[in-house]
């Protein structure tokens, strides 16, 4: 109510059409427009709505004012009203570039991707190249969300044809080609960062690409930058902890994951923290975490390995057997159980497990090395009389 009153007083002081010459009226209207737009940009949506409503009450029920009202309603979370007023604004002037663009952006935020894509296409028709990079990047994002990656890539290429140095378009292209051409994707991510406009989502994709390429320390730097740009994002924090774990910074990874657990318990976070503690050699604390997780074959195997590394091999072996019973064709589980059996002298069963692992993965280096060591150990055993 107070915002509307302020708006009415503002208009009363500058927009009395019957007392002003046309030039003065136009100037006053321009000031009102500028004020409404500034309030919207500053997220002061109540005040912006008050100005728009006052303009409409004064007879200025045009496309521009309706568009401002729609944006203010959208900012206030009044979704149905905002959509209705955007549609009214476009009926008043269908060739309004800005209204198509603002409506499309609003629809994207609501998750109405298909309809947003249509509005971006209309904006492309009427904006006459003014917002080409922005429109093409949003069309590409809509294509990705609709799982139309070929279409998204076409829009990216068209956008880069208009501005080869748009950081967002370069980053989008990097995301789209990361699987088929990691080296080219990395170059595009680097270019996007150097242009000063790489948003967090591109930095995350770049960080994941570096993790997958076995460069976790570099990945941690990129993901830390993404985390600073989007503080409080749990998924980015998890990715950063993963990179630090792989880089051997177990304390750094643990600190991030402990903070996440303090903010809300999640099985994914507990599982990653257990793995970090296991890699650090803190088997006792890792075991406590693994024991509280759902007992998948992988978790059962980790429980067994923790017990084994704590010198409790007889307790470990039943856990390892249970893991293999649930996943009978798992070479790594066979290797781990073989190591435990060999450590207490059960060399024949250990060798049999390693041979099974090699029958599934003939190039498994760990299985081959362990089997060779077993064969040497068996040769050195005294023969029974």
Domain 199-293 in CATH 1.20.140.10? The answer is no
- For CA atoms 259, 265, 267, 271, give the dihedral sign: positive
Question: ∠ CA(315), CA(242), CA(258), 5° rounding?
Answer: 75
Please report, for the chain, the start and end positions of each structural domain, with discontinuous segments joined by +.
1-78, 94-191, 199-293, 296-379
**Do 283 and 306 touch, CB atoms closer than 8 A?**
yes
Q: What is the pLDDT of residue 11?
A: 42
Residue by residue, DSSP assigns 127-180 as: STTTTHHHHHHHHHHHHHHTT-HHHHHHHHHHHHHH-TT-HHHHHHHHHHHTTT
Binned at pLDDT 50, 70 and 90, residue 69 comes out as very high
Q: How far apart are CA 353 and CA 341, in angstroms?
A: 10
Question: pLDDT tens digit string along 214-239?
Answer: 889 999 999 998 999 999 899 999 99
**Do 73 and 49 touch, CB atoms closer than 8 A?**
yes
Assign domain 94-191 to its CATH superfamily: Tetratricopeptide repeat domain (1.25.40.10)
Question: pLDDT tens digit string along 306-316?
Answer: 999 999 999 99
**Do 249 and 220 touch, CB atoms closer than 8 A?**
yes
Q: What is the pLDDT of residue 27?
A: 74
Residue with tokens 């789209």: 176
- Distances from the Cα of 254 to the Cα of 88, 153, 248, 275, angstroms: 54, 38, 11, 10
Number of C-beta neighbours around residue 114 at 10 A: 10
Contacts of 66 (CB under 8 A, 6+ apart): 52, 56, 85, 86, 88, 89, 92, 99
Binned at pLDDT 50, 70 and 90, residue 19 comes out as very low
Binned at pLDDT 50, 70 and 90, residue 296 comes out as very high
Query: Which one of 3.40.50.261, 1.25.40.10, 2.60.40.420, 3.30.530.50 gives the CATH number of domain 296-379?
Result: 1.25.40.10
Mean of pLDDT values over 193-202: 80
Helix (H) or strand (E) holding 41: helix 22-41
Whether the per-residue pLDDT at 14 is higher than 50: the answer is no
Q: Which has more confidence, 305 or 26?
A: 305
**Do 159 and 140 touch, CB atoms closer than 8 A?**
yes
Residue with tokens 């060739």: 95
Residue by residue, DSSP assigns 198-256 as: --HHHHHHHHHHHHHTT-HHHHHHHHHHHHHHSTT-HHHHHHHHHHHHHHT-HHHHHHH
Q: Which has more confidence, 139 or 24?
A: 139
Binned at pLDDT 50, 70 and 90, residue 325 comes out as very high
Contacts of 116 (CB under 8 A, 6+ apart): 104, 105, 107, 108, 138, 142
Q: Interhelix angle for 234-247 vs 216-229, to 10°?
A: 160
Mean residue pLDDT across the chain: 87
Q: Which has more confidence, 378 or 142?
A: 142
Whether the per-residue pLDDT at 245 is higher than 50: the answer is yes
Q: What is the pLDDT of residue 330?
A: 93
Q: How far apart are CA 251 and CA 259, in angstroms?
A: 12
Contacts of 225 (CB under 8 A, 6+ apart): 203
SS3 103: helix
Question: pLDDT tens digit string along 248-275?
Answer: 999 999 999 999 999 887 888 999 999 9
**Residue 120 CB burial class (10 angstroms; 0-12, 13-18, ≥19):** buried
- Distances from the Cα of 262 to the Cα of 255, 266, 294, 360, angstroms: 11, 10, 20, 43
Question: ∠ CA(233), CA(139), CA(81), 5° rounding?
Answer: 75
Helix (H) or strand (E) holding 383: none
SS3 282: coil
Q: Which two tokens stand for residue 147?
A: 């799982």
């Amino acid at each position: 109510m107070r915002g509307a009153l302020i708006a009415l007083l503002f208009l009363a002081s500058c927009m009395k059409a019957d007392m002003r010459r046309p030039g003065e009226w136009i100037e006053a209207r321009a000031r009102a427009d500028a004020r409404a737009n500034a309030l919207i940009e500053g997220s002061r949506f109540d005040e912006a709505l008050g100005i728009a409503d006052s303009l409409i009450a004064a007879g200025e029920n045009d496309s521009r004012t309706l568009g401002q009202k729609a944006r203010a309603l959208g900012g206030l979370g009044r979704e149905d009203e905002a959509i209705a007023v955007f549609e009214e604004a476009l009926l008043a002037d269908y060739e309004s570039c800005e209204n198509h663009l603002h409506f499309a952006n609003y629809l994207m935020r609501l998750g109405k991707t298909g309809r947003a894509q249509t509005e971006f296409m209309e904006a492309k028709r009427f904006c006459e190249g003014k917002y080409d990079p922005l429109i093409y990047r949003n069309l590409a994002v809509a294509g990705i969300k609709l799982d139309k990656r070929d279409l998204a890539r076409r829009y990216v290429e068209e956008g880069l044809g208009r501005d080869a140095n748009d950081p967002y378009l370069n980053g989008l292209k990097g995301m789209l080609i990361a699987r088929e051409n990691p080296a080219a994707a990395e170059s595009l991510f680097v270019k996007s960062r150097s242009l000063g406009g790489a948003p967090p989502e591109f930095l995350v994709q770049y960080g994941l690409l570096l993790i997958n390429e076995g460069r976790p320390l570099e990945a941690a730097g990129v993901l830390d930058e993404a985390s600073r740009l989007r503080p409080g994002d749990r998924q980015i924090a998890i990715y950063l902890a993963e990179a630090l774990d792989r880089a051997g910074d177990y304390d750094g990874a643990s600190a991030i994951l402990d903070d996440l657990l303090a903010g809300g318990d999640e099985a994914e976070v507990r599982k990653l923290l257990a793995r970090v503690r296991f890699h650090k050699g803190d088997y006792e604390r890792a075991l406590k975490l693994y024991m509280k997780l759902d007992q998948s074959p992988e978790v059962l195997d980790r429980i067994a390995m923790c017990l084994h590394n704590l010198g409790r091999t007889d307790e470990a072996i039943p856990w390892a057997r249970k893991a293999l019973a649930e996943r009978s064709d798992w070479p790594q589980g066979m290797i781990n159980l073989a190591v435990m059996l060999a450590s207490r002298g059960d060399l024949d069963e250990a060798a049999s497990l390693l041979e099974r692992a090699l029958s599934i993965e003939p190039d498994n280096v760990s299985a081959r090395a362990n089997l060779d060591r077993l064969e040497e150990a068996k040769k050195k055993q005294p023969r029974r009389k």
